[in-house]
């Protein structure tokens, strides 16, 4: 089973990562757009052309990862519309880069539980606008499942359960809307096996890291409670081969690859 491994590029410019990735057989780079050197506005025509050529020369795939602060579900029109415009810009850049997809958190809300239900309704309506661009430009949008906030929090992440991810994928039902399965986030909630069983071939990307089942620690593979052997078996059943994107904070990407690969 040939697996496609990669890592979240957040510590340095993506241009500096191709040689390292090629040396260690890492075939995918997910560009995290949260750092100043990788703000979406930095991807002008010249940079896009250079990255597209590097991607082809090294045979390394690219994807984009939007900041978690993007909130297309916000009830304030100016903030909501700015987030929608931002996501559309990411889709456009992904198209120009020949990227495989755009990974995104789907937002958050403040208040009490009823506020969250209203936010989900707003989110579904607003993502339809983004998906129109995805369809036009042939770019997949991968919503990322997130970890639940602690009990008593007034901040709620959207997409923090199987139920909410399923609602979005079902309500919007589009070949351009898929799931980025974050195994660490899933482990703090219903568990990664439940997500794999539920969403199957809607999973187009995996973020992998470990934790104790309670907090989002981004530990190395095997240092927490994720049942990696069962996860690997479940992924084999749905013929998922990658990309597996490392978000292990305490190890180098090639080390994270080796730690995960031993389960397959």
What confidence score (pLDDT) does residue 1 get?
Answer: 65
* pTM of the shown model: 0.96
Q: How confident is the model at residue 150 (pLDDT cuts 50, 70, 90)?
A: confident
Question: Residue 153's pLDDT is what?
Answer: 86
Q: What is the mean pLDDT of residues 249-254?
A: 97
pLDDT at 264 over 70: yes
Report the percent of the chain where pLDDT is more than 90. Answer: 93
Q: Which sequence spans correspond to the domains of the chain? A: 5-261
Reduce the secondary structure of the chain to three states and give it as a string: CCCCEEEEECCCCHHHCHHHHHHCCCCEEEEECCCHHHCHHHCCHHHHHHHHHHHHHHCCEEEEECCCCCCCCCCCHHHHHHHHHHHHHHHHHHHHHCCCEEEECCCEEECCHHHHHHHHHHHHHHHHHHHHHHHHHCCEEEEECCCCCCCCCCEEECCCCHHHHHHHHHHHCCCCEEEEEEHHHHHCCCCHHHHHHHHHHHEEEEEECECCCCCCCCECCCCCCCCHHHHHHHHHHCCCCCCEEECCCCCCHHHHHHHHHCCC
Average pLDDT over residues 145-149: 94
What average pLDDT does range 23-34 have in this prediction? Answer: 98
Query: Which CATH code fits 5-261?
Result: 3.20.20.150
């Amino acid at each position: 089973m040939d697996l496609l491994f990669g890592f979240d590029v957040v510590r340095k410019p993506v241009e500096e990562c191709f040689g390292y990735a090629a040396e260690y057989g890492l075939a995918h780079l997910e560009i995290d757009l949260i750092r100043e050197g990788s703000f979406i506005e930095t991807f002008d025509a010249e940079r896009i052309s250079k990255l597209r050529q590097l991607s082809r020369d090294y045979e390394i795939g690219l994807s984009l990862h939007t900041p978690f602060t993007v909130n297309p579900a916000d009830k304030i029109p100016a903030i909501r519309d700015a987030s929608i415009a931002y996501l559309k810009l990411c889709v456009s850049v992904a198209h120009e880069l020949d990227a495989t997809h755009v990974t995104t958190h789907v937002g958050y809300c403040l208040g009490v539980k009823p506020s969250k239900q209203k936010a989900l309704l707003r989110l579904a309506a607003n993502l339809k606008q983004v998906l129109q661009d995805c369809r036009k430009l042939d770019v997949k949008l991968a919503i990322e499942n997130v970890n639940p906030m602690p009990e008593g929090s007034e901040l709620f992440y959207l997409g923090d359960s199987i139920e909410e991810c399923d609602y979005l994928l079902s309500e919007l039902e589009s070949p351009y809307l898929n799931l980025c399965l974050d195994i660490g986030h899933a482990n703090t909630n219903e568990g990664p096996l439940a997500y794999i069983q539920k969403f199957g071939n809607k999973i187009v990307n995996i973020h992998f890291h470990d934790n104790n089942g309670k907090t989002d620690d981004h530990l190395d593979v095997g240092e927490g409670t994720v049942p990696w052997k069962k996860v690997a078996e479940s992924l084999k059943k749905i013929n998922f081969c990658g990309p597996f994107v490392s978000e292990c904070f305490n190890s180098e990407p090639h080390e994270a690859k080796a730690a995960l690969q031993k389960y397959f």
